[in-house]
Amino acid sequence: MANFRPFAHPWWVNLLLLVPLLAYLLFRRKQPRLTSRSLLACAVFALSFGFVEGAVAIYLGVALGLLPAHAGTLSDLARLPPDLDGIQAQQFSNLSPGLLRVEIIREAATMLMLLSVAILAVEKWRERFAIFLWTFALWDTAYYTSLWVVVHWPDSPTSWDVLFFIPVPWIAQVWFPVVVSILTLVVVLLTRKPEVA
């Protein structure tokens, strides 16, 4: 873990580490009523959608020539330099403005889909927020898992990734979103109101 970097870029992305804590404080006072059925149904959606997102990333990598055919791995793309400017330049040099625009719209659509599932699954705002966090965290975890299973990337928790493009590129090592997602899943499970038999 010699390449470990504790911070994401830009600086405010690091505030995402507070999401599990803030969710815990919010849900601890008034526990969200989440049935096992709604959690399971949303989990199936999130895990499936995470795989679809991973497939999109693989197809985009192949289409841009970043992923050599089907035999290569994303770790073959490049060993990213420790300076963030170098990361940004290398990651975006092959992405045309048109593709970048499509990627931004796709990311916005992804957030709307995850939000729609939360709205459809439950009725109250606290439960909707909990379901949104649940589906987002599972989707994100499934995304990285599917990439690792299919193309063996990330090759390390310290691999760099572009997490999001809205409003500017969010760059962090892979451990960062995975830790936030896992902690968020734990918070949702631990703070939900137990079902009455």
Q: Report which of 102, 92, 143, 137 is spatially closest to residue 117, judged by C-alpha positions.
A: 137
Residue 13 lies in a domain: no
Task: Give every CB contact of residue 170 below 8 A, 6+ residues apart in sequence.
Answer: 8, 9, 10, 13, 162, 163, 164
| Backbone phi, psi, residue 46, to 5° | -60, -45
| Alpha-carbon span 77 to 123, nearest angstrom | 44
| Alpha-carbon span 45 to 122, nearest angstrom | 15
- For residue 195, the model assigns a pLDDT of 79
Number of domains in the chain: 1
Tell me which residue range forms the domain holding 178.
36-191
Phi-psi region of 9 (alpha: psi -120 to 50; beta: other; left: phi over 0): beta
Residue 20 lies in a domain: no
pTM of the model: 0.86
Residue 25 lies in a domain: no
Write the pLDDT tens digit of every residue in 52-77: 999 988 888 777 766 655 444 444 43
Choose between 53 and 97: higher pLDDT. Answer: 53
Residue 107 lies in a domain: yes
